[in-house]
Structure formats: C-alpha cells, structure tokens
C-alpha cells in the first residue's frame, strides 16, 4: 500500500493512494506518525489501510497539497554509499579516498525533524549560504519500537520507505566541520520526504540475494539528468542500519533513517570532487530538483530565496580566569 498525508480545503488527512491517484481517506486519522504509534508495525498499518477501502473516495492527488508522509519522531541520516564518500570528501574536505573507519560501522548523524518539507514545497536557500546542494536518498520508516535489534529482527520493525532529499549548504558544512562536530547548520534548513510512504511488502520483490533492494535512482535538475545509481550499491542493508541505530537505545514508530546519498551524481558535491570544479553549479533560486526512486515515487522541489542571516559576533577570546 501507499499512504499520503495531504491538505485539502484547510483540512489535513491521511489516505491510501490508489494506482490512479485517487485518495481514500482513513477515517479520523490526521497524522501517520500518530497512527504508527497506535498500530503494531506493518500488519497494523496494512489493517488500517484496508479499512479505508470501504469508505467513499476522496479527492485525486492532483487536487490536494501533499504534505510530508509523516512528521518524524527523529531523523538519522546515514552515509552508506562508498562512491559518495569518496567524491564528497574530495570536494568538502580536500581529502582523497575513503577513511578506514567508514567500513567499521554504518555512520550516521541526527538531522532536524522540525525542518521537513513535502513534495512540490518550495525550499529556501539556507541563510548565509551560496553553495546549496541536493542529496538523493531513500528513507526507511520505523513502525515498531525496539532496541538492541539484530538485523533479522530489525526487518519486522520497518514499516515502509519514502524518497529522501537531504538539502545541504556545502559552504556552511565545510566551515563548521573543521570544528570536528560534523554537519550542523549545513544540514539544518530542509529535508524533503515524499511523495508518499510505500509499505515494506511492496518492495520485497526487488530484494536481491544479498538482502539489498535493487531500485533505480535518478536525480534531475531543471529536467536534465545529473545522477543515476542503484540503491543496492549501499554497503549496509536497511536492516543492518536499523540494528545499528537501535544499539544501546530505542528506535520508535515514526523514526526515519536515511540511506545516505547514492553515488554517480547523487549530489553535486560528489561531481565537484570528481571534476575539480563546480560543474554543474550550486543550486540557485528557480532551480527545480526532481528525485525518482523506482517503486517508491518521484519527489520534486523548487529552490526559492531564503532570508538573510541574523548577524552574530565572533567568539570572544576569554581570559580563562578561575575562581
């Protein structure tokens, strides 16, 4: 099944999306995140969706404003594509190759769950940035709480998938990572999820013998293809990522885990690192980014001007006086 959150006539609803784009609203449901917290993973979500099949059809998807499929409880963004790491390190850090430590575990950082946008929403340029980039990813959504999971057990905690665009201010990211705390404001302004959530059972036919989902990924800017890859080029499966995320803590319904950016043009920074120049150039207001994941959907957003940063003073050099 496919689930979408939408706004229509000033009301917010959650619906099952039919193949022709007709929306079948779930009675009394306004939040997919809340629904996931009330149901028991994938079986519970499918049962809720089946109940919508008996209600009168709602509007067509073209007649509504699509919202992010859910408001995440948290967003962990991984980095699981070796090719991406190699290209971006050269572009952002000026370093070559892939660090040995990258192979030890599926590294992630937490990004901003309060800056989530939906399909066709405008994306503002982050304040103070002039080097904006997109990142083509797939997000996996947690449907059941768990901790210290094995990869085998983690599969039962995955409820579905969505397209994930991690918008990145590369100039801010490059500067702040020199402090050693990872990306912060460089990733803080926007993450796009959508256009819908596709339940995990729909993608099982795409699973290969090694447990990876073999799905075609395509990135376009203003209608021109700039990147193509396969999701199965990830170095860890989604189940392994969920298991690592749950190590020593909890994953809960509504958590979103990003696959990390794919290779071969999954973002501009990778291409800049390979080519030694900013070609294609950074995104600017008016540019439209379209990301397509086979079996999941197409996510489109247009960049618009942002606000000027509120000025702050530089850090003071203090006396280090002691009491």
Report pLDDT digits (tens) over 187-198: 999 999 999 999
Phi and psi based region of residue 203 (left: phi greater than 0; alpha: psi -120 to 50; beta: remaining): alpha
Q: What is the pLDDT of residue 87?
A: 86
The sign of the torsion formed by the CA atoms of 18, 21, 22, 24 equals positive
Is residue 313 one of the residues assigned to a domain? no
- Grade residue 180 by pLDDT with cuts at 50, 70 and 90: confident
In this structure, what token pair is assigned to residue 137? Answer: 């990813």
Q: CB burial class (10 A; 0-12, 13-18, 19+) of residue 20?
A: exposed
Q: Which domain holds residue 296?
A: 75-304
Where residue 213 sits, what CATH number does that domain have? 3.90.850.10
Same domain, 124 and 166: yes
pLDDT of 274 strictly over 90: no
Kindly provide the b/e burial profile for residues 129-141, where b requires at least 16 CB atoms within 10 angstroms of the residue's own CB. bebbbbbbbbbbb
Task: State the average pLDDT over residues 266-290.
Answer: 95
Structural element, H or E, at residue 270: helix 268-275
Say whether both 116 and 241 belong to one domain: yes
Do 40 and 108 sit in the same domain of this protein? no
Q: Which residues contact 210 (CB under 8 A, 6 or more apart)?
A: 232, 237
Query: What does the mean pLDDT of the chain come to?
Result: 95
Within a domain: residue 217? yes
Do residues 37 and 160 both lie within one domain? Answer: no
Q: Domain ends where: 22, 41, 67?
A: 67
CA distance linking residue 194 with residue 199, whole number of Å: 13
In a domain, 196, yes or no: yes
- The answer to whether position 318 is within a domain reads no
Q: Give the predicted TM-score (pTM) of the model.
A: 0.96
pLDDT confidence of residue 176: 87
Task: Name the pairing type of β-strands 23-25 and 11-17.
Answer: antiparallel
pLDDT band for position 174 (50/70/90)? confident
pLDDT score for 129: 97
**Residue 86 resides in a domain:** yes
Could you tell me if residue 311 is inside a domain?
no
**Residues 163, 186: Cα–Cα separation, whole Å:** 20
- What would the pLDDT profile of 42-97 be if each residue is shown by its tens digit? 999 999 999 998 889 999 999 999 999 999 999 999 999 999 999 888 877 777 78
Residue 317 inside a domain? The answer is no
**Average of pLDDT values for 16-34?**
96
Structure tokens given for 99: 């660090």
pLDDT at 74: 97
Compute the CA torsion angle 91, 299, 220, 230 (nearest 10 deg): 70
Task: Indicate if the pLDDT at residue 140 is higher than 80.
Answer: yes
CA 159, 163, 167, 170 torsion-angle sign: positive
Q: Given this model, what pLDDT does residue 178 score?
A: 83
- 54 shares its domain with 188: no
Residues 61 and 97 occupy one common structural domain = no
**Per the structure, how many domains does the chain have?**
2
> What's residue 297's pLDDT?
98
| pLDDT exceeds 90 at position 181 | no
The pLDDT tens digits of the residues spanning 280-309 come to: 999 999 999 999 999 999 999 999 999 999
């Amino acid at each position: 099944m496919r689930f979408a959150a939408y706004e229509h006539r000033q009301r917010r609803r959650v619906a099952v999306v039919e193949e022709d784009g007709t929306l079948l609203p779930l009675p009394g449901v306004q939040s997919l995140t809340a629904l996931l917290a009330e149901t028991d993973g994938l079986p519970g979500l499918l049962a809720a969706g089946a109940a919508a099949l008996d209600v009168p059809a709602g509007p067509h998807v073209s007649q509504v404003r699509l919202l992010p499929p859910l408001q995440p409880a948290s967003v962990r963004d991984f980095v699981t594509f070796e090719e991406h790491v190699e290209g971006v390190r050269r572009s952002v850090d000026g370093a070559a190759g892939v660090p040995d430590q990258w192979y030890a575990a599926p590294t992630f950082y937490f990004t901003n769950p309060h800056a989530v946008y939906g399909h066709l929403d405008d994306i503002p340029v982050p304040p103070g940035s002039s080097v904006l980039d997109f990142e083509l990813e797939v997000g996996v959504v947690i449907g059941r709480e768990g901790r210290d999971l094995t990869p085998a057990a983690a599969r039962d905690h995955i409820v579905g998938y969505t397209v994930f665009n991690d918008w990145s201010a590369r100039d801010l990211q490059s500067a702040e990572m020199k402090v050693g705390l990872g990306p912060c404001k460089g990733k803080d302004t926007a993450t796009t999820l959508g256009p819908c959530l596709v339940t995990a059972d729909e993608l099982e036919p795409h699973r290969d013998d090694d447990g990876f989902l073999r799905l075609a990924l395509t990135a376009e800017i203003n209608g021109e293809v700039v990147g193509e890859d396969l999701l199965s080029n990830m170095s860890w499966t989604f189940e392994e990522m969920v298991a690592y995320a749950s190590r020593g803590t909890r994953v809960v319904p509504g958590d979103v885990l990003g696959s990390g950016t794919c290779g071969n043009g999954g973002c501009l920074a990778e291409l800049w690192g390979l080519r030694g120049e900013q070609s294609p150039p950074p995104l600017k207001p008016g540019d439209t980014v379209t990301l397509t994941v086979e079996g999941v959907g197409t996510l489109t957003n247009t960049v618009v001007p942002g606000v000027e940063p509120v000025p702050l003073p530089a850090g003071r050099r203090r006396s280090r006086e002691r009491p």
